[in-house]
């Protein structure tokens, strides 16, 4: 039964939106009138993908990493229980509370009822279901093991979501500490220091170099600070259209791979994401070359993405995956060794899974270490800044005392 999105006005004059299943839009209007509501518009729920193809973009057609992981686990559980796909999609749509997501699942169900496979139905909504997701589902349908493949996909999406949350959680404290430290220093130099140095204005003695430097920094922040803040905001707004150009993104991504610490973080994150993606694709029965092309798209760095695409071409020509990836120099030697072992033993998917787990642990340990070192570093930096401010204020006072003595 197809799904329809409706907009209506209830008896109190309030606008109501939602999704109903019915044989036709006329039946939906009748259901709304039975509730005492006045129908304003009734449209098929599957209209979103048509609008997207016409060039329009709708944020509601996508879903967050958490929602994708939750829906995948629900689909896997219900299909493994032997429930038909269309009934599974209907149950999942009822389970969700977000109207846009409910509409999305009912639209996928409508396509399945029309005779499309689940992967084909999901392909109508590429913003919600990425290439990796659809390719894995398609492989599961072709092999007849959709329930097992969905379980693997659920584990993968949940693992990626957990990793993403850990990284975000680890970065919150350093960011907050940096912002607070910056605000404290700016506040001291802008408001506190000027009031204190007024005491020395009437003295005819030359102020110490440190004090003069502190006064200069304070005057600079008071005069140039507001303009610098406006300039920073303007640059941040201009950066987005600048980064939309591919050659500019290449420059930024190339710079990321040259800065020592950032290079290690970027390589570790992309290696982990690539290995786990390639593992689930090959385990689901997707051919290696196609799996490489899909796995390349999950890389956030354009240079690493191009190296994976080039590796796919070399594998097509008969080369080994290990050598093709090793030539790029973007992947850790241990990971290359595990891939070579997997190719020789015929257990490439298992070795890729182990390599992904190893890289995730290594990346997590690195982030934990950096966060642990960041706290004492910021405390020492703040202590140093405060010490300089105190010395800059105390030195003239000590000089005046010496003169009086």
Helix (H, G, I), strand (E, B) or coil at 35: coil
Instruction: Say if residues 17 and 3 touch (Cβ distance below 8 Å).
Output: no
List of residues 6+ apart from 5 with CB closer than 8 A: 17, 18, 19, 42, 43, 44, 45, 47, 103
Q: What is the pLDDT of residue 402?
A: 56
Instruction: Say if residues 106 and 1 touch (Cβ distance below 8 Å).
Output: no
Measured between alpha carbons, how far is 246 from 303 in angstroms, rounded to an integer? 11
Q: Is the dihedral of CA 248, 253, 255, 256 positive or negative?
A: positive
Q: What is the pLDDT of residue 55?
A: 33
Q: Let me know if domain 60-151 sits in CATH 1.20.81.30.
A: yes
Helix (H, G, I), strand (E, B) or coil at 92: helix
Q: Is the dihedral of CA 242, 63, 42, 87 positive or negative?
A: positive
Domains 60-151 and 152-405 share a fold: yes
Q: What is the pLDDT of residue 400?
A: 64
Parallel/antiparallel/unpaired status of strands 15-21 and 38-44: unpaired
Determine phi and psi for 96, rounding to 5 degrees: -75, 150
**What CATH number matches the domain at 152-405, 1.20.81.30, 1.20.1250.20, 3.40.190.80, 3.20.20.80?**
1.20.81.30
CA distances from 297 to 119, 165, 273, 277, 375 (A): 18, 21, 10, 10, 35
What are the structural domain ranges in the chain?
Answer: 3-44, 60-151, 152-405
345-348 LR contacts (CB < 8 Å, sep 24+): 348/282, 348/288, 348/321
Q: What is the pLDDT of residue 277?
A: 81
Measured between alpha carbons, how far is 247 from 253 in angstroms, rounded to an integer? 10
Instruction: Say if residues 358 and 335 touch (Cβ distance below 8 Å).
Output: yes
How buried is residue 233: exposed, middle or buried, by Cβ count under 10 Å (0-12/13-18/19+)? exposed
Q: What is the pLDDT of residue 2?
A: 63
Instruction: Say if residues 32 and 56 touch (Cβ distance below 8 Å).
Output: no
Give pLDDT < 50 ranges for the chain. 47-61, 403, 405
Name the residue among 24, 7, 16, 17 with its Cα closest to residue 110: 24
Q: What is the pLDDT of residue 59?
A: 37
Measured between alpha carbons, how far is 243 from 232 in angstroms, rounded to an integer? 16
CA distances from 232 to 159, 238, 256 (A): 36, 10, 21
């Amino acid at each position: 039964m197809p799904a329809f999105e409706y907009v209506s006005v209830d008896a109190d004059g309030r606008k109501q939106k939602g999704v109903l299943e019915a044989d036709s839009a006329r039946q939906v209007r009748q259901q709304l009138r039975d509730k005492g509501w006045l129908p304003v518009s009734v449209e098929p729920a599957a209209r979103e993908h048509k609008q997207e193809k016409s060039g329009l973009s709708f944020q509601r057609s996508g879903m967050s990493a958490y929602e994708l992981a939750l829906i995948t686990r629900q689909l896997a559980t219900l299909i493994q229980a032997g429930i038909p796909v269309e009934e599974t999609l209907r149950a999942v749509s009822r389970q969700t509370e977000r109207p846009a997501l409910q509409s999305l699942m009912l639209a996928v169900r409508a396509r399945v009822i029309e005779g499309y496979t689940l992967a084909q139905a999901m392909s109508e909504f590429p913003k919600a279901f990425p290439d990796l997701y659809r390719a894995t589902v398609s492989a599961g349908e072709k092999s007849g093991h959709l329930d097992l493949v969905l379980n693997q996909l659920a584990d993968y999406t949940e693992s990626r979501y957990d990793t993403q949350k850990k990284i975000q959680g680890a970065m919150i404290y350093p960011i907050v500490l940096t912002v607070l430290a910056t605000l404290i220093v700016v506040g001291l130099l802008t408001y506190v220091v000027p009031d204190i140095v007024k005491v020395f204005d009437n003295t005819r003695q030359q102020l110490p170099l440190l004090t003069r430097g502190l006064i200069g920094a304070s005057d600079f922040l008071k005069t140039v600070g507001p303009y610098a803040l406006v300039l920073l905001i303007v640059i941040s707004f201009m950066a987005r259209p600048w980064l939309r150009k591919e050659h500019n993104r290449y420059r930024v991504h190339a710079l990321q791979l040259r800065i020592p610490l950032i290079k290690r973080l970027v390589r570790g994150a992309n290696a982990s994401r690539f290995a786990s993606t390639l593992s689930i694709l090959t385990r689901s029965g997707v051919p290696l070359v196609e799996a490489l092309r899909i796995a390349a798209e999950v890389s956030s760095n354009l240079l690493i993405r191009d190296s994976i695409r080039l590796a796919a071409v070399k594998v097509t020509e008969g080369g080994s995956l290990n050598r093709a990836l090793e030539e790029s120099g973007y992947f850790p030697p241990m990971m290359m060794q595990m891939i070579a072992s997997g190719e020789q033993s015929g257990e490439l998917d298992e070795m890729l899974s182990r390599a992904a787990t190893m890289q995730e642990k290594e990346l997590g340990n690195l982030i934990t270490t950096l966060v642990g070192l960041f706290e004492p570093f910021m405390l020492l930096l703040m202590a140093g800044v405060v010490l300089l401010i105190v010395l800059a204020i105390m030195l003239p006072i000590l000089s005046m005392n010496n003169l009086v003595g």
